[in-house]
Amino acid sequence: LPLTYGFINLYVFSLSTVPLCPTGWSEYGNRCFLFQSTETDWATAESYCRQHHTDLASVRSMSENEQMKGLVQSAGEIQAWIGLYRNSWMWVDGSNSSFRHWRASEPNGSEENCATAVHADAGQWEDWPCSWKMPFFCNAGKP
């Protein structure tokens, strides 16, 4: 719509908001998270995320952890796999985030090589055997 102000014509356009994350994903900052309620072991979750999306989710800050906590709680779940595994506790997507939110006694257990975020416990993390089945998070940057 043209608006006239003095000698200047101004044009006002209505821009619709275009979602930056695919349908069903949750956007936070410059990242997209997908909560999968299907319970599976860590390796199958990693494979699924890599095949269909990007990778299991890395968590880069307390605010991202809180976002994920809310997604798990809204789905009525307690915990979910994240993309952290015991190899000096590295992120599977290769990110160099040093953020960690381990529960006081974690990580422990020599057979517990995969990390989960226990969202019912203030979002703190625990290590568990990778063969255990639970929901998981995939992540992707904005398309």
Domain ranges of the chain: 28-140
pLDDT tens digits, 27-79: 888 888 899 999 999 999 999 999 988 899 999 999 999 988 888 888 888 99
pTM exceeds 0.85, yes or no: no
Average pLDDT, the chain: 84
pLDDT at 14 over 80: no
CATH of 28-140, one of 3.30.70.20, 3.40.309.10, 3.30.70.330, 3.10.100.10: 3.10.100.10
Confidence at residue 17, expressed as pLDDT on a 0 to 100 scale: 57
Confidence at residue 29, expressed as pLDDT on a 0 to 100 scale: 81
Confidence of residue 107 (pLDDT cuts 50, 70, 90): very high
Confidence at residue 143, expressed as pLDDT on a 0 to 100 scale: 42
Between the alpha carbon of residue 68 and those of residues 2, 8, 29, 113, 131, the distances in Å are 44, 48, 13, 21, 22
* Cβ neighbourhood burial of 102 (10 Å; 0-12, 13-18, 19+): middle
